[in-house]
Amino acid sequence: MDGVVITYSSVYGSSRKYAEKLAERLGIPLSEASCADFHDAGLIVHFGGLYAGSLLGLRSVAGRIPEDASLYIVSVGIADPGEERNARAIDDVVWKHIPDGMRDRVRVFHLRGRLDYPAMTVRHRAMMWMLCRWIMHKESRSHEDQMILDTYGSVVDFMDPGSIEPIASAVEAWRQ
Ligand SMILES: Cc1cc2nc3c(=O)[nH]c(=O)nc-3n(C[C@H](O)[C@H](O)[C@H](O)COP(=O)(O)O)c2cc1C
């Protein structure tokens, strides 16, 4: 099993766009996670949006990959993973879904996506409003908290196509 499969689970398209970029860059097939066929896959690269403590599609992908296959997980969220606190929080979300016996075959990457309030579902807008209310009542605010408050209601875009390069290099190294 030496095939590579790229999957994504995305609500607003950021994770899908990054997955498409990587698929195009490496000439690898791509599919939405729920329809993916992992039959001959030796490496699965899964891109998923972060939503309040979960990474979309991760549980389903991790539960279906063939024995001995490797899994590269790419989180796409609004928080800056360059801040150690944020990266640690995302890692916690990811690793809790990875069984012990699989951990040495897993790598995790973090990318930044976008928030588009005008395009958001009513439910998601309500969740963001509750998050803002909670931040407003906190005793001290992090840089990230302030960013969420300042940008509430607008479009915030941190998409960076070049940020897939470390993932592309890791896949190329795996293939050799
Ligand atoms: C309701 C809601 C909850 C979110 N929770 C998080 C979060 O916990 N951490 C984070 O970094 N980003 C969070 N985001 C931002 C999304 O991860 C970001 O918009 C991402 O680009 C979405 O990916 P998608 O476009 O592929 O669905 C949240 C967005 C919404 C609307």
CB 112 within 8 A of CB 158: yes
- Classify strands 155-157 and 114-116 as parallel, antiparallel or unpaired: antiparallel
Superfamily covering domain 3-113+158-175 = Flavodoxin domain (3.40.50.360)
- Mutational test site, ligand 1, from 7, 14, 32, 50, max ligand atoms within 8 Å of CB: 50
pTM above 0.85, yes or no: yes
Q: How far is the CA of 25 from the centre of ligand 1 (A)?
A: 25
Q: CB under 8 Å to 164, separation ≥6 — which residues?
A: 18, 21, 22, 25, 111
**C-alpha torsion 172→26→5→1, nearest 10:** -50
**pLDDT value at position 143?**
87
Point out the residues of the chain with pLDDT beneath 50. none
CB 81 within 8 A of CB 110: yes
User: What are the residue boundaries of the structural domains of the chain, listed by start?
Assistant: 3-113+158-175, 115-156
Q: Which atom of ligand 1 is nearest to the CA of 48?
A: 26
**pLDDT value at position 53?**
87
